[in-house]
Structure 1
Amino acid sequence: MDADEIGSSSRKHWPESLFSLEGEIENGKTKKTKLGFEEDRVMPLLHGISEMVTSIETLFWLPSWLKIILILISILICDFFEPRLLVGAGYGVRFKCIFVNVAKNILLFGQLDDSMSYLVEHLKDLLRKSSFDVQRSYQRLVKHMWPVKSFHSLTAYSCPIARIFRNVKPEYSDDINTMVSQLFPIQIGQSFDAKFLLSGGSNELGYLVRIGGERVELGKAIRDKYIMVCCFHVPMFHGGWDSSMVQSLINTCSELYAADMDFEMVVVAKMKKLADHKQVFDHFLSGFPSSCFVIPFEDSKRRNFICKYLELQLNDIQCLLLDNKENILLHGYPRFAESYGADGFPFTDEKLQKLEADEKLQSLTNYMVQLLTSNPSDVLRKTNAEDGCDTMTISDLNKKDVVGLFKCVNGKLIPKLQEVYEQCKIQQKPFEVLLVYIPFSNSLDPKNHKLYIDNLLQKHKLSLWYMPFNNSVHHKLCRFTNSCYDQLIIFRAQDAHIDIYGAEVMSTFGIDAYPFSREELVQRELNKFKEVTLETLLISKSRDYLLKGGANISVAHLRGKNILVWISSLSVNCIPFYHELLLWYKENQAKNPDFEVVCV
């Protein structure tokens, strides 16, 4: 049924809905059969169809089902013999259909008396009996897998086949389980034999391979270095908590490599059973710096041994961090990566607690001043601007009357910011915005996150000054402001005034709230109250009186008295308080005859 038919049917056949269904073939053409349904039977019918479509959608992601001929014959043959019965999902509506899997020689019949829920169970049974070929489905799957190669490939819908990989526990062979069961458990602070672990439980030294291809002898690769061994259950899908954590971990490790720290990261991928293919393995590795070491795909026994020993079980990520003397500093899920960059290295509890204590002694205002004044000669550029065009130093930015530091997490503030920014230009109100990219709450790498935000800015024809991404600096800013949403921090260098609620003020009041600080709004309201008199507050046109006990009392009669204005909806909930107020009023008036209460 096309859109016009839907529109006309809703008008001409109310309270019935008219459906066009594929029917039998006659003279080489498909006839359309039109059936009428009472309105109260349509919703349960659609509910059942949605369940079936979900199951079918999952089946069609399976390559072995590319050869399926799914025939729905007279699907929606309804029973109208008892039209007034209450209809629940799967009841009162009858179907006849068959499911054919040619490749597997499976034929399932849905009989005329079968309920929708019964037919859905048929589909789920087919799903359980079907094999899955990840290589045949790779091009579909890769669009949803981490890492995301381009923000353009982000999709708004979830991948049905991804459900197969959810909550899958790693499986290990009996010989791996036996080997690990005979070893000492990992304990923080104890010495650890990194060579034994990375050689797969053997005494052979062997080699480690960097993702970029360089082979390094194992002993030389880890000598006198901090070693982080990270196990991952692969594949991971973008948008999930684990994929965001992996990206944060990579951002921090990239920062450590760039700083030439004595640090190495070893990537160990435990492949999920249905995705144990090199294509999936290589895609996962493509998200890591080429400097990282990796246990090759072909060396599955060594990968499985390391993951089992590091207890990769329920979580899809497990890390082991050793210091340069091979003492265990950390073992478990790398939660430090969501809040700290290289400034938290080596990520021990003592180090992170010290950072936290130091930051408590430093206010956000001091940090902002430090952030925006420590390197005054640093040159800022504008987003979506040609090279060399539109530059400004930090020093020049600090001379502006009002600066908004835009902490951009997802870009949802951009439309409102563009509207107000243009209005400030028109009204010649000085206002500059410094964009800070915050790629910590999604699974995009910093480069793709920047491209994604820049694309949004371009769509809204907005160009802003931006600060180059610095993992540690931007993590510290997030710790101070404690927000995972877009934020506009209003900063005035002249008086070091800071307000972290600029986005809320701007979104609520728009240009009228310039310069977008709560202090300014409060001051305006106080100024309004200073101008309030009894007459301006209580007189409306010719009504210059109040009521008391049935009599009209002139507002002028209250001049010189102490007045309490009580504004209330006088709802049922206010009645107990109303009685208390009356008693309180009588007590106070007995002591002070110049006291009055005006109820609005």
Structure 2
Amino acid sequence: MMDLKEETRKRCSGGENEESGALKRCSSGEKEEGWSSREKEEGWTLKRCSTNSCSCVTKLKRPGRPYSLFDYENYFPYPTNTIKSDITIGEPHVFFEFPEEIFMEENEPLNIKKGEKLPVDVLSLLSNGGKTNSLVRNNGERVGLMDAISGKYLVVCCFFVPMFANDGSDRVCRHLIATYNELQKNNLNFEMVVVAKMRSSFISKDQEEPAFDWFLSAFPCLAVPFSDSSTRDSICKLLGLESSRLTESDACLVLDPEQRVLQSDTLCFENYGAASFPFTDSHLDYLKKKVEEIKMRLDPVYRQSKLDGQEMSRRWRLGPLYKGAVEDEISTEPVTLEELLCCESSTLLHKCDGSSQKNRVISVADLSKSKCVVLYLCFDASFMSRLEMFRRRCVKRNQQFEVVIIHLSYFSDESSYSKAFKLAFKEKGITSWWELPFVDHVSRRLYQIADVPYEDDVIIWAGGGCSGEISGLALMEWCGSSNLYPVTRNKWLDDKLSALRSLTLESFLSYKKRKRGSSHLKVSESKNRNILLYFGSSNSLFEKLCDSYNQIKEDYPGSEVVFAPMRHPNPVTEMPWPQLPSPIAIPEVLWFVPILVAFGDDNRIKSLYAEDNLDYRERGVSLFDDTLRGETLRYLTGEIQC
């Protein structure tokens, strides 16, 4: 791999000198830029074009470019921060490619197995076999190694330095820092040690220590000192940090006080933050189940789709041994706002403009009296403008709509993130939103409930014991400017089912008589009869329906099939059932053109997908079972993924 950054900016001779910065076109026809003042200062070199007929050059970055404080804004811990509301802090950074790092052959990576003791003593690991006996903090304070880690839950994390802002390891660092800060506030038996492996191919030797200090300045925890380079390299090698490729740019180890390996990655910090302590699999499983319980209690649509999926999987797995659905054991008790926000009823929220005036502060108890509370999980503010427009529409219709912003500052330092949002609120004139006091593990739990990776999302809590919504953003975008309120899939489902159940056979049929050759079938004669309305859009279904027709008539006495063409048909005489002489319109309440619709003996719709039940005998079901809710639910969850 090249150790040079090659820019394909080419320049041709043609009356303009190379310093002019004018745009030129080389013989290949490629239009390229001229020199920038910064490139001149940085010592770029030239390489002649390989095209014989062209005298243009390619600019090459010189190898071993010094790493200076001027570049620190591009690297962790202070990355650029872009809020998608036309407000940008900092400048875009550039990604480089690096050659493989070369390690000493003397140490092989440890054979680390979760649940077992570390193959080497952790004191020996961190001291490089007793060669060092202290760790360091970012203020230069030296701490005795044994005193710092003995008898504690320990996290050892290794990173390549310098680290690009906004790459995967940058995000991991922020998860670890947030976890450490919160655990230290609670005085838990916990310590973290950071180990930096320098990218020697990127920075010169005299710049390694400033880069190390800059990186360490973000961490409030302990670190292996810069001066102990052999110890740092040994730890990184033993924990498997063997490449500087971005896909392998960090390694982590979590130990209990007895040096048993609890975790060998950083996923628990990303998902749960400080709540993951004491980091055991059983505790993490408990947290996962609690999140799932909240989701199922909050959102009935999510609950039903989840249970349907589990039941389908169980039916397929057991086959003939299947004996019916398993009872749902999760409570149906509504989720309180306090439970959702992990706070007390007396917790105060302030308006997003930072005002502390009496009318600009509200308790969670008072906020829970609202009919609709929207938790805006704000990652990059890409949904901020649309959410405010949605809120204003609801207010105009005298509908309660309170927004609580939940900050997810996973890609930026807190100060830059806060500054960007203050500017965004001011720019968009947003003053009515509430801000929840930031607690890292609470934000992460809400993020787990929404379950949308690194994007804005919305969780909706409906007051009065009503159902909520875990996919609020997708639902808001899907329903647009409709009058759906509260904005939940369960409300949409109830409204849609109400409209569908209000339809009768007469609603579909606009003629009083249906003919079958010379005979007639009056609509009045269809009352108290099961009817299959066939729209004739599937030839394969036509054959199946013909084969099943007599059996259906035998199993459901008085039932009938009626053919409803979608366009003016030629006379069809081979059908054994009545047919409409003219096309009918599909009611707007339907979201598709059906094939076979089942009406019960009350003339109400029972199924929009009755073709799925033509094998009712083999499946042990009724052709006229009421499956309308399940069918509508499947459509809804297909449009808006749970």
Q: Using a 3 Å threshold, how does the CA distance of structure 1 residues 499 and 237 change in structure 2: closer, same or farther?
A: same
Q: Give the counterpart of 1:324 among 245, 257, 270.
A: 257
Q: Deviations over 1:525-580 (max 9, x none)?
A: 233234434554444xxxx5788579998985776364433456x3xxx2222332
Aligned to 2:629: none
Q: In structure 2, what residue type is equivalent to 1:171?
A: I
Matches within 5 A, 1:339-488: 339-356=271-288, 364-365=297-298, 368-369=336-337, 370-372=339-341, 375-388=344-357, 390-440=360-410, 443-463=411-431, 464-484=433-453, 485-488=455-458
- Please report how far the alpha carbon of residue 374 of structure 1 lies from its aligned counterpart in structure 2 after TM superposition: 5.0
Please list every run of 5 or more consecutive structure 2 residues that lacks an aligned counterpart in the other structure.
1-10, 83-87, 299-333, 567-642
Aligned to 1:68: 45
- The question of whether the paired residues in 1 share the 8 Å contact of 2:76 and 2:170 is answered with yes
Aligned to 2:323: none
- Please report how far the alpha carbon of residue 396 of structure 1 lies from its aligned counterpart in structure 2 after TM superposition: 0.4
- Give, in whole Å, the separation in 1 of the partners of 2:535 and 2:377: 39
The number of equivalent residue pairs is 496
- Give, in whole Å, the separation in 1 of the partners of 2:132 and 2:13: 70
- Please report how far the alpha carbon of residue 376 of structure 1 lies from its aligned counterpart in structure 2 after TM superposition: 0.7
- The question of whether the paired residues in 2 share the 8 Å contact of 1:535 and 1:555 is answered with no
Q: In structure 2, what residue type is equivalent to 1:321?
A: V
- Give, in whole Å, the separation in 2 of the partners of 1:551 and 1:239: 76
- Please report how far the alpha carbon of residue 471 of structure 1 lies from its aligned counterpart in structure 2 after TM superposition: 1.9
- The question of whether the paired residues in 2 share the 8 Å contact of 1:344 and 1:351 is answered with yes
SS state of the match for residue 97, structure 1? coil
- The question of whether the paired residues in 2 share the 8 Å contact of 1:226 and 1:264 is answered with yes
Q: Give the counterpart of 1:197 among 125, 130, 143.
A: 125
- Please report how far the alpha carbon of residue 320 of structure 1 lies from its aligned counterpart in structure 2 after TM superposition: 3.1
Q: Deviations over 1:293-329 (max 9, x none)?
A: 222333322322222233321421122334335x243
- Give, in whole Å, the separation in 2 of the partners of 1:100 and 1:503: 47
- Give, in whole Å, the separation in 2 of the partners of 1:458 and 1:554: 68
SS state of the match for residue 175, structure 2? helix
Q: Give the counterpart of 1:279 among 196, 210, 215.
A: 210
Aligned to 1:213: 140
- Please report how far the alpha carbon of residue 520 of structure 1 lies from its aligned counterpart in structure 2 after TM superposition: 1.7
Q: Give the counterpart of 2:156 among 229, 251, 264.
A: 229
SS state of the match for residue 497, structure 1? coil
- The question of whether the paired residues in 1 share the 8 Å contact of 2:110 and 2:119 is answered with no
Q: Using a 3 Å threshold, how does the CA distance of structure 1 residues 567 and 429 change in structure 2: closer, same or farther?
A: farther
1:294 aligns with 2:258: no
Matches within 5 A, 1:333-344: 333-344=265-276
Between Structure 1 and Structure 2, the one with more helix by share is 1
Q: Give the counterpart of 1:577 among 537, 541, 545.
A: 541
Q: Using a 3 Å threshold, how does the CA distance of structure 1 residues 507 and 371 change in structure 2: closer, same or farther?
A: same
- Give, in whole Å, the separation in 2 of the partners of 1:417 and 1:550: 59
Aligned to 1:519: 490
1:503 aligns with 2:432: no
Please list every run of 5 or more consecutive structure 1 residues that lacks an aligned counterpart in the other structure.
1-20, 36-41, 76-93, 102-125
Q: In structure 2, what residue type is equivalent to 1:319?
A: C
SS state of the match for residue 354, structure 2? coil
- Give, in whole Å, the separation in 2 of the partners of 1:461 and 1:280: 40
SS state of the match for residue 265, structure 1? strand
SS state of the match for residue 319, structure 1? strand
- Please report how far the alpha carbon of residue 461 of structure 1 lies from its aligned counterpart in structure 2 after TM superposition: 2.6
Q: Deviations over 1:93-115 (max 9, x none)?
A: x95134388xxxxxxxxxxxxxx
1:142 aligns with 2:111: no
Q: Using a 3 Å threshold, how does the CA distance of structure 1 residues 444 and 498 change in structure 2: closer, same or farther?
A: same
State percent identity of aligned pairs.
Answer: 25
Q: In structure 2, what residue type is equivalent to 1:461?
A: G
- Please report how far the alpha carbon of residue 450 of structure 1 lies from its aligned counterpart in structure 2 after TM superposition: 4.4
RMSD: 4.3
Q: Using a 3 Å threshold, how does the CA distance of structure 1 residues 184 and 476 change in structure 2: closer, same or farther?
A: closer
With 417-426 and 301-310 compared, the bigger mean Cα shift is at: 301-310
- Give, in whole Å, the separation in 1 of the partners of 2:101 and 2:437: 39
Q: Using a 3 Å threshold, how does the CA distance of structure 1 residues 387 and 282 change in structure 2: closer, same or farther?
A: farther
Q: Using a 3 Å threshold, how does the CA distance of structure 1 residues 433 and 34 change in structure 2: closer, same or farther?
A: closer
Q: Deviations over 1:11-45 (max 9, x none)?
A: xxxxxxxxxx9763399x99x9999xxxxxx9x96
Q: Using a 3 Å threshold, how does the CA distance of structure 1 residues 61 and 249 change in structure 2: closer, same or farther?
A: farther
Q: In structure 1, what residue type is equivalent to 2:278?
A: P
- The question of whether the paired residues in 1 share the 8 Å contact of 2:346 and 2:364 is answered with yes
- The question of whether the paired residues in 2 share the 8 Å contact of 1:380 and 1:394 is answered with yes
Q: Using a 3 Å threshold, how does the CA distance of structure 1 residues 580 and 454 change in structure 2: closer, same or farther?
A: farther
Aligned to 1:24: 14
- The question of whether the paired residues in 2 share the 8 Å contact of 1:317 and 1:333 is answered with no
- Please report how far the alpha carbon of residue 156 of structure 1 lies from its aligned counterpart in structure 2 after TM superposition: 8.4
- Give, in whole Å, the separation in 1 of the partners of 2:37 and 2:157: 35
Q: In structure 2, what residue type is equivalent to 1:248?
A: H
SS state of the match for residue 269, structure 1? strand
1:260 aligns with 2:229: no
Q: Using a 3 Å threshold, how does the CA distance of structure 1 residues 64 and 364 change in structure 2: closer, same or farther?
A: farther
- Give, in whole Å, the separation in 2 of the partners of 1:22 and 1:185: 57
Q: In structure 2, what residue type is equivalent to 1:383?
A: C
Q: Using a 3 Å threshold, how does the CA distance of structure 1 residues 204 and 449 change in structure 2: closer, same or farther?
A: closer
What TM-score, normalized to structure 2? 0.66
Q: Deviations over 1:207-233 (max 9, x none)?
A: 322112322233333343333222111
Q: Using a 3 Å threshold, how does the CA distance of structure 1 residues 361 and 505 change in structure 2: closer, same or farther?
A: closer
- Please report how far the alpha carbon of residue 375 of structure 1 lies from its aligned counterpart in structure 2 after TM superposition: 0.7
Q: Give the counterpart of 1:96 among 36, 54, 58.
A: 54
Q: Using a 3 Å threshold, how does the CA distance of structure 1 residues 239 and 581 change in structure 2: closer, same or farther?
A: farther
Q: In structure 1, what residue type is equivalent to 2:237?
A: K
- Give, in whole Å, the separation in 2 of the partners of 1:278 and 1:150: 23
- Please report how far the alpha carbon of residue 424 of structure 1 lies from its aligned counterpart in structure 2 after TM superposition: 1.3
Q: Deviations over 1:430-453 (max 9, x none)?
A: 12122222334xx22455444444
